[in-house]
Amino acid sequence: MLAGNSSALPSIEYLVIAGGGAGSRYDLNNGGSGGGAGGFRNSTGLSGGGALSESRLPVDLGTNYTVTVGAGGAGSSSVVNGAQGSNSVFASITSLGGGGAAVGGDGFSGGSGGGAGAGDGIAGTGGAGTAGQGYAGGNAVAGGTSPGNRAGTGGGGAGAVGGNEINNVSSGAGGVGVVGDITGSFVFRAGGGGGGANGAVGASAGGNGGGGAGGANNASGASGTANTGGGGGGAGTGSGTLFGGSGGSGVVILRYPTRFTITIGAGLTGSTTTVGDNKITTITAGTGNVSWEAA
């Protein structure tokens, strides 16, 4: 229903997901850990971190509203810790980039937290997630005082905590994402990255929702899936040029009645489809403005 007058647009429904954090590179004989998923804020169903749906956002016709789609953190073979994902924005709604994974210490906080890394004599705590956006990364136990084969932990997902590394052997899986149906189909997004293998035990899967799998022995971590905000997987142990997986880019999805038309401004990449009585605009990259007019 129109909100009181013919110039007012009904409140917009939205899903705003930030870029996922990158997985960490291996260090000595220790597998890398998974990056945290990008923050997940949703007005059509559950949000991240176990939160309920948020309120729709009122907008006015002919007014510009800022949209930014956050990039995923870039994986690297030279920087040990995983890079943070970038924020995504729709007007006053901001989702925080996923936390990068760590080696030999605590994971980094974000929309969902990056996985911790176990080092020599060091225990790590998973990076914290953000209330209403995602969960923490997995924890690592302390290793011995000399290098050993240790597995990586999982990055936090929008729907669950990342898996812990167990007994210096078993890697942790990425936390699962959250399922939403803003497009008319149920899709999981914002899964955490999986932990990388040590020299003896296989890597763990990324969380359902675009999280990248951890790398096997002598293999890089897989990147998170584009436009899901999935975290990147940690690299497996080995030698040579092995990368922590990059985080998946975020996405901004907007749903509104068919009697209105959106203008997607310069700097943004997006498309619009019609499902029943609603139009659905999916913006997959860039920064710019959107506005609405009566069709």
pLDDT tens across 106-121, in order?
999 999 999 998 766 6
User: What is the pLDDT averaged over residues 256-268?
Assistant: 96
Tokens of 241: 């040029």
CA distances from 34 to 61, 69, 129, 167, 270 (A): 42, 22, 14, 18, 29
Cβ atoms within 10 Å, residue 91: 18
Q: Which residues contact 190 (CB under 8 A, 6 or more apart)?
A: 17, 20, 37, 38, 39, 40, 48, 111, 112, 134, 157, 158, 159, 177, 178, 209, 210, 228, 229, 230
3-state DSSP helix/strand/coil % of the chain, to nearest 5: 0, 30, 70
Instruction: Say yes or no to pLDDT of 19 above 50.
Output: yes
pLDDT tens digits for 81-91?
999 999 999 99
pLDDT tens digits for 199-252?
767 789 999 999 999 998 889 999 999 999 999 999 988 777 889 999 999 999
Among the listed residues 156, 209, 185, the one whose alpha carbon sits nearest the alpha carbon of residue 44: 185
| Cα–Cα distance for residue pair 107/230, rounded to 1 Å | 16
Report the percent of the chain where pLDDT is more than 70: 92
Instruction: Say yes or no to pLDDT of 70 above 80.
Output: yes
Weakest-pLDDT range from 1-5, 49-53, 83-87, 211-215 = 1-5
* pLDDT classification of 69: cutoffs 50, 70, 90: very high
* pLDDT classification of 193: cutoffs 50, 70, 90: very high
Among the listed residues 250, 248, 253, 285, the one whose alpha carbon sits nearest the alpha carbon of residue 269: 285
List 188's β-bridge partners, or say none: 179
pLDDT tens digits for 139-176?
987 655 455 567 889 999 999 999 998 766 678 899 99
pTM: 0.94
Among the listed residues 7, 3, 82, 13, the one whose alpha carbon sits nearest the alpha carbon of residue 41: 13
Cβ atoms within 10 Å, residue 53: 14
Instruction: Say yes or no to pLDDT of 1 above 50.
Output: no
Can you give the pLDDT at residue 166?
Answer: 76
